[in-house]
Structure 1
Amino acid sequence: MSIEETLNVKGEWLVSNCGDLPSEMGCKLILMSPVDQREDLVTASVQHAIDVHGHENTPELKTQLDGMLKPMTI
């Protein structure tokens, strides 16, 4: 599916915005997924936090990032 096709998929989405977290890097990465792929989005967000920002892979990190997801209707 192309980006253009994705943006035309109507429904409920979740957004993970790295810019919502304080960061020396000023990271502005935004990830999104349909609501039924919440776990995939959390996994991708955690991996980004570990690989790019040096966070430790902990249950607390996963819980924090999951709690920061924002709903979006397209």
Structure 2
Amino acid sequence: MGRKYIDCREFPSEAKCTVAISADSEQELEEAAVQHAVAVHQHQDSAELRRQLRTMFKDGTPPAALG
């Protein structure tokens, strides 16, 4: 399995977050993404949040800039 990532820049929010997180496993990426979503975006850790985050995972590494 290759590297996976999630990039907040793809999901505009009031926080104007520019964090991108990548990992070698989906499990590791999920844990880091949940911690970020709870700490920065004030989401509650739940099964639904984890499902939603997993649908946003992409293969590879985040680009240096969007667009």
Unaligned runs of 5+ in 2: 62-67
Which structure has the highest helix share of the two? Answer: 1
Match status 1:17 vs 2:1: no
- Aligned residue for 2:6, secondary structure, equals strand
Q: Which has the larger radius of gyration?
A: 1
Separation in 1, partners of 2:34, 2:10: 14
Match status 1:29 vs 2:33: no
How far does residue 27 in structure 1 lie from its aligned partner after superposition?
0.4
Normalising by structure 1, we get a TM-score of 0.74
Which structure has the highest strand share of the two? Answer: 1
How much is the aligned-residue C-alpha RMSD, in angstroms? Answer: 1.6
Moved over 3 A (4+): none
Unaligned runs of 5+ in 1: 1-10
Aligned residue pairs, count: 61
- Deviation per CA, 1:16-59, whole angstroms, max 9, x where unpaired? 1112223101101011112xx21011111011000111001111
Residue identity over aligned pairs, in percent, reads 34
- Aligned residue for 2:59, secondary structure, equals strand
